[in-house]
């Protein structure tokens, strides 16, 4: 007898050969393991740094899962659904998704930040593609996917407990003890506010991103809690209560509102009769009205809305400037400083995914994206009927009655106990490799009690894995959620995307894709499956192998770039601390950082902070970083570390001012629209001009170059007023007092309007 929710498969002649049957069964077992592993690990790996070891490890897993799914699709064919219903229901979400991804690839080619853009596109493609490819296995083993989703949620809840109990306090203490913990002045205040906040983000980048993950899974837990009985209800109810507390601790007002709206829409679609639907709408309005009466909620909601309106205004200006093609993927980040309103704080996202798509890729692609979401929601939507369980049934009315597959085959029969335990064991092993072997979450465990001791830190990691494995065992018998719950989760996440940017996070996209495929799978009834033709099998095998080879090659190249990036970052941080060290204690600490960086470069410790050996190593590192940053795809992060080394080396040892100039010229020419590199070159030219004046040298070429570069910087970011101060200094060096006075007048006029951290450093 099939487990509730598992698809029943009807064999259709011709039957598969015994060899094909054995291969199919093996692929289903492997695919079932992927259904546990992918959602189990996904929340724990922050996707912000593409070359991090954890991210590269997960990309390999995704590629292997993608290849497994392609092999499954090649070996078995399911007939197409009959073309009935509205035109929307006839469209396939996969077609529109492929079209949007193709447009995004063209946007990556035109992106001002190619490496980041291609990393984002790769993450989108692999996460969505793996979920699509594993569709046959999701149909057959939905319970394993549910176990993986809820196991990942349990792991994230454990991370939140540790963050709230120990990690946040350790960050606050470190920030108080080390004022140089954050090198950039414009980020120091933001970091201080964040570590002092009560809002928790867990292993995600931001609290709002955590909220997007939670509201995607919350309806599934609510459905399971309502349907299950006995121990299963207690398990689902406990996770539901903890997820609710975590959602409240995220402090995401837009996320909570999106969840409420999604639940209301689902209820309206499910429940017939205008009275019940009117009651649902009235209840939602009453909840919103009561929340608006709370002063804290009202104040923070208005402040959050004001900031987002400024972001959307800037996005509108970008769309008006390039309506058809946009600025390329991540183009919003480059164009925002030039077009943003003066009072708006800095950001790199529009905080509205549709506007972000229009600004990056153009209005036509934004409409295609909306159409993709609409088609997906139409396919997922629950259907109201007079029966009490209408819309909830995992098998639509009119489906063929359950039948067994003669002779066995792909998807034949429910998962046995051995197969289920094997998949859960594979998930636990992958989690242990990630957390214990690769050290993921190690920085968090270091802040736990006695976490500074390696043995204790290892114990915390092992304990984490054991607890999550226990959670997997506890949820393994839960039935799949009904399609209405998946619809509500997907709708909540997409609604929240209209006030945030979490679809730029692979942590959310990966889980969202799996939940959507789970809902689509649960809506399908019994389905005929026949062996694929030899040609189809060959295409599936070649496609899977091609995906795996391409991703492995990319991972190898990315790991090499990542290693160089980490070495450059360590050297830049050491030079920053050396250049800013004022007291003897700070100089001693900076010397330790410098010795570590030199040791990584294979050099002996420096005799002093201004040892000639330091300059030799720094110049060589700059050359290597710039050479790597120029290879396809051009990587701003790598070049950023080269520029940081140049700036801090010149600040530490003025004798190297001329030596770093050619490197900065290359960077400024490579990134003509990036403020950082032009500003660094302008600062170098200004210091050269000041040195020439002190030595009474007659040439003013460096001063004029500094003024030109400073003017370019101001044009790129006109509302950051301390950049205008640099232009004033350069203009006076060049003898252009008129420009200096014009900029002074602009500073006085803009000071009351701009975001406070962007104000000038002195009172003009």
Low-confidence ranges of the chain (pLDDT < 50): 1-4, 8-13, 83-84, 386-410
CB 83 within 8 A of CB 90: yes
Strands across the sheet containing 527-531: 9-11, 527-531, 76-77
Map 502-552 to HEC letters. Answer: HHHCHHHHHHHHHHHHHHHHHHCCCEEEEECCHHHHHHHHHHHHHHHHHHH
Note the pLDDT tens digit of each residue in 501-550: 999 999 999 999 999 999 998 887 655 567 778 888 899 999 999 999 99
CB 568 within 8 A of CB 623: no
pLDDT of the residue at 51: 85
DSSP per residue, 30-52: HHHHHHHHHHHHGGGS--S-TTS
Backbone angles phi, psi at 343, to 5 degrees: -85, -5
Global pTM value: 0.92
pLDDT of the residue at 411: 53
pLDDT of the residue at 179: 66
pLDDT of the residue at 21: 78
pLDDT of the residue at 91: 62
**238/153 Cα distance (integer angstroms):** 12
CB 105 within 8 A of CB 365: no
pLDDT of the residue at 603: 85
Note the pLDDT tens digit of each residue in 88-137: 555 688 999 999 999 999 999 999 999 999 999 999 999 999 999 999 89
pLDDT of the residue at 671: 96
Strands 527-531 and 76-77: antiparallel
- What is the dihedral sign for C-alpha 617, 620, 625, 626? positive
**97/490 Cα distance (integer angstroms):** 15
């Amino acid at each position: 007898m099939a487990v509730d929710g598992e698809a029943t498969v009807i064999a259709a002649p011709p039957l598969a050969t015994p060899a094909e049957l054995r291969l199919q069964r093996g692929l289903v077992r492997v695919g079932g393991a992927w259904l546990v592993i992918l959602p189990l690990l996904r929340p724990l790996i922050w996707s912000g740094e593409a070359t991090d070891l954890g991210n590269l490890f997960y990309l390999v897993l995704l590629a292997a899962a993608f290849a497994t799914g392609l092999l499954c699709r090649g070996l078995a064919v399911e007939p197409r659904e009959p073309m009935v219903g509205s035109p929307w229901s006839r469209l396939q979400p996969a077609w529109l998704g492929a079209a949007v991804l193709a447009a995004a690839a063209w946007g990556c080619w035109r992106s001002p930040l190619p490496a980041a853009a291609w990393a984002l596109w790769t993450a989108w493609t692999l996460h969505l593609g793996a979920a699509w490819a594993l569709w046959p296995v999701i149909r057959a083993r939905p319970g394993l996917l549910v176990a993986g989703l809820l196991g990942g949620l349990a792991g994230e809840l454990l991370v939140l407990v540790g963050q709230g109990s120990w990690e946040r306090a350790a960050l606050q203490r470190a920030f108080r003890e080390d004022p140089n913990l954050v090198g950039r002045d414009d980020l120091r205040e933001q970091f201080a506010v964040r570590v002092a906040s009560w809002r928790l983000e867990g292993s995600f980048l931001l609290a709002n991103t955590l909220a997007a993950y939670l509201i995607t899974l919350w309806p599934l837990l609510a459905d399971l809690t309502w349907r299950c009985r006995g121990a299963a209800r207690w398990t689902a109810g406990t996770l539901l209560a903890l997820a609710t507390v975590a959602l409240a601790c995220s402090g995401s007002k837009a996320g909570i509102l999106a969840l409420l709206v999604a639940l209301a829409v689902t209820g309206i679609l499910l429940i017939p009769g205008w009275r019940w639907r009117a009651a649902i709408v009235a209840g939602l309005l009453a909840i919103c009205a009561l929340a608006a009466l709370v002063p804290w909620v009202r104040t923070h909601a208005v402040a959050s809305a004001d900031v987002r309106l400024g972001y959307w205004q800037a996005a509108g200006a970008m769309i008006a400037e390039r309506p058809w093609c946009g600025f390329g993927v991540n183009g919003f980040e480059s164009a925002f400083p030039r077009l943003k309103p003066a009072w708006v704080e800095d950001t790199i996202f529009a905080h509205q995914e549709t506007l972000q798509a229009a600004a990056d890729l153009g209005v036509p692609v934004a409409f295609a994206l909306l159409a993709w979401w609409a088609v997906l929601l139409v396919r997922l939507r629950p259907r109201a009927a007079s029966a009490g369980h209408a819309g909830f049934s995992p098998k639509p009315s009119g489906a063929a009655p359950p039948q067994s597959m003669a002779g066995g085959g792909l998807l034949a029969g429910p998962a046995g106990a051995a197969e289920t335990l094997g998949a859960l064991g594979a998930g636990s092993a992958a989690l242990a490799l990630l957390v214990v072997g690769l050290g993921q979450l190690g920085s968090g465990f270091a802040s736990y009690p006695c976490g500074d001791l390696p043995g204790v830190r290892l114990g915390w990691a092992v304990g984490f894995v054991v607890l999550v494995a226990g959670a997997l065992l506890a949820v393994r018998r839960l039935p799949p959620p009904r399609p209405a719950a998946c619809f509500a989760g997907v709708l909540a996440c997409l609604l929240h995307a209209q006030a945030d940017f979490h679809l730029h996070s692979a942590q959310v996209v990966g889980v969202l894709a799996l939940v959507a495929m789970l809902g689509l799978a649960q809506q399908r009834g019994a389905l005929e499956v026949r062996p694929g033709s030899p040609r189809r099998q060959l295409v599936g095998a070649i496609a899977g192998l091609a995906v795996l080879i391409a991703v492995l090659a990319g991972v190898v190249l990315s790991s090499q770039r990542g290693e160089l990036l980490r070495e450059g970052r360590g050297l830049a941080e050491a030079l920053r601390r050396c250049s800013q060290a004022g007291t003897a204690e700070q100089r001693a600490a900076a010397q330790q950082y410098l010795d570590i960086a030199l040791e990584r470069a294979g050099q002996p410790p420096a005799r002093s902070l201004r040892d000639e050996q330091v300059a030799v190593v720094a110049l060589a590192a700059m050359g290597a970083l710039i050479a790597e940053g120029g290879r396809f795809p051009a990587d701003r992060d790598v070049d950023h570390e080269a520029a940081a080394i140049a700036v801090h080396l010149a600040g530490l040892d003025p004798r190297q001012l001329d030596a770093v100039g050619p490197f900065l010229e290359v960077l400024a020419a490579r990134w003509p629209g990036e403020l950082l590199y032009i500003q660094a070159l302008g600062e170098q030219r200004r210091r050269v001009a000041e040195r020439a004046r002190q030595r009474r040298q007659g040439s003013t070429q460096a001063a004029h170059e500094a003024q030109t570069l400073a003017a370019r910087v101001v044009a790129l970011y006109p509302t950051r007023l301390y950049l205008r101060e640099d232009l004033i200094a350069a203009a006076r060096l060049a003898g252009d007092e008129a420009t200096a006075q014009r900029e002074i007048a602009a500073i006085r006029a803009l000071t009351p309007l701009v975001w406070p951290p962007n104000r000038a450093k002195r009172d003009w």
